[in-house]
Amino acid sequence: MGRVLCVANQKGGVGKTTTAVSLAVALAKAGLRTLLVDLDPQCNATTGMGLKPTRVHPLTMNTPLRLGALGTSDPHLHVLPGSRTFRDIETLSQPNASQARQLRENLGRGFSSYDFVLLDCPPSLGHLTKMALASSTEVFIPIQCEYFAMEGLAQMIEVIRQIIEHSTHRLEFGGILLTMYDHTLELTQEVDREVREFFGEIVYDTVIPRDVAVSEAPSHGKSVIDYAPRARGARAYVELCMEVLERE
């Protein structure tokens, strides 16, 4: 099995889905077999790739994931679409022990054919996010360069620590990514300094700048790399992809 990255943060609006989509596209363009899994009921990763949410989430069916994965314009990239159906959302989010075990088994099947699997989680520390963490090899945390960047991060790290200690799986800290970075703001510099002083080497050297192209891309059903390949945000995600590969 390849690397399974759980892209998670309990706070919304930090660039989590944008990072999952853009990194998945960059990895695929590097020739790596990549699967993007949309676990967020908002289905933004699905629509951000120009696809439609499915009526029944593949994870709720007892079938191999490859049967539910959709192809994209890049032959190396597949997407497991999300679902907005209330029944599916309820099934995926309920902390029922036997159901959770079945979902984890469904989630784990089919990963062996991919070099990278990216799980885009909802902005919470609920059952679905914990299930995704327990099914991953690495946790990838985007945080916004704003005043409340550190708020709640300690709680999330505690949840990750508990999963690492109590799970038989090999979950590790993959890294922390600074997003919406504006080097002209003193606040951005302060957040950058605090995060790197506290977390050290697990913080990626690459930062994702504020870039209107990054915000516009999802409305066109594309990643910023395909929508505006020369934009600062696109270049940053390509650099992030290279850094992720170097940390292998």
pLDDT in tens, 157-203: 888 888 877 766 678 888 999 999 999 999 999 999 999 998 899 99
Q: Which two tokens stand for residue 84?
A: 């907005």
Question: H-type helices in 135-185, by residue range?
Answer: 153-166
- Residue 70 region by backbone torsions, left for phi larger than 0, else alpha for psi between -120 and 50, else beta: beta
The answer to whether 54 and 82 have CB atoms below 8 angstroms apart is: yes
pLDDT tens readout for residues 200-214: 999 999 999 999 999
Predicted local confidence at residue 108, as pLDDT: 65
* Cα gap 40→47, rounded to integer Å: 11
In this model, does residue 1 exceed pLDDT 70? no
Torsion (CA) 236, 239, 240, 241 in degrees, nearest 10: 130
What pLDDT digit, counting tens, does each position of 60-105 carry? 776 777 778 899 999 999 999 998 875 666 666 665 555 556 666 6
Average confidence (pLDDT) over 213-222: 96
Residue 15 structural domain: 3-246
| Report field, pTM of the whole predicted structure over 0.75 | yes
* C-alpha span between 167 and 89 (Å, rounded): 24
Report the CATH number at residue 21. Answer: 3.40.50.300
The per-residue pLDDT for 58 is 79
What's the CA gap between 210 and 191, in Å, rounded? 15
Domain count, the chain: 1
- Average pLDDT on 235-246 reads 97
What average pLDDT does the structure give for the chain?
87
Q: Regarding predicted confidence, which is higher, 97 or 16?
A: 16
Q: Residue written as tokens 């309990």? A: 10
What gap in Å lies between CA 43 and CA 84, rounded to an integer?
7
